[in-house]
Amino acid sequence: MNVLFTIIHIFGLVTMGFSGVMLTCLITSAIAGDGALDAFLMAVPITLAAGMLLFFPTMKTPKKVSRQAGFLLVSMTWSLIPVFCTLPLLFFMPQLSFIDAYFEVVSDLTTTGATLLSGIDKLPMSINLWRHELNWIAGMGIIIFAVAILPILGIGGMQLYIAETPGSVKESDLPPRIAQTAKALWMVYAGITVVCIIALKLAGMGWFDAICHAFSAMSLGGGFHT
């Protein structure tokens, strides 16, 4: 039972993290006045509330993740996080079915480059930014993101890294300070992204297009730029 509560606790943390990412799109929509503000005003509180309901009641659970729990958590993350990620799309485009919205965000999160949406260049800035942010985060890996922040809560991330890594990996093969390694990778990834944005801006793109193109280029999800 403790293992289940630990998984729920970590998943709640990741869910709250995605609500924070969603908040940047809410702010973008408010500034740009692109018509999608209501969609994010509904999606952000729902995602945040769901994360909090999972996270805070399980705070006293022992913070130890076995390899088996790591595999289960990875499966939950890749299966259930997209459900919350569909909310902005579903609220803004009520004609879009849940299956189509789920396909869209899973394609984002796996950097596949496939999309069911038409007229992408006419979508609101905030909706397009949401799609690109999902692409960019997934480029480095959701679980690597979790590995980088979980130690703050005293939760070991080694098993999550093993579960997310393809092939056969032994703990002895991994760096002794995996959390620090993950943070360093994120800093390099973000730094190169900033350089890419500036380079595209200097080449003549607007700031928003430069950000979206840089996000999709860094994540190798090239089919998603505007």
Indicate the domain borders of the chain. Answer: 2-166+176-224
Cβ neighbour number for residue 38 with a 10 Å cutoff = 11
In angstroms, how far is the first alpha carbon of the chain from the final one? Answer: 46
Q: Is 174 within 8 Å of 158 (Cβ atoms)? A: yes
pLDDT, one tens digit per residue, over 182-217 is 777 788 889 999 999 999 999 999 999 999 999 988
**pLDDT range class, residue 64, cuts 50, 70, 90:** low
pLDDT, one tens digit per residue, over 107-143 is 988 888 788 888 888 899 999 999 999 989 887 765 5
CA-CA distance, 182 to 170, in Å (whole number)? 17
The pTM of the full predicted model, rounded to 2 decimals, is: 0.80
Q: How many residues does the chain have?
A: 226
Q: Please state, in angstroms and as integers, the Cα–Cα distance from residue 224 to each residue in 91, 95, 104, 129, 158, following that order.
A: 21, 21, 11, 10, 32
CA-CA distance, 54 to 145, in Å (whole number)? 19
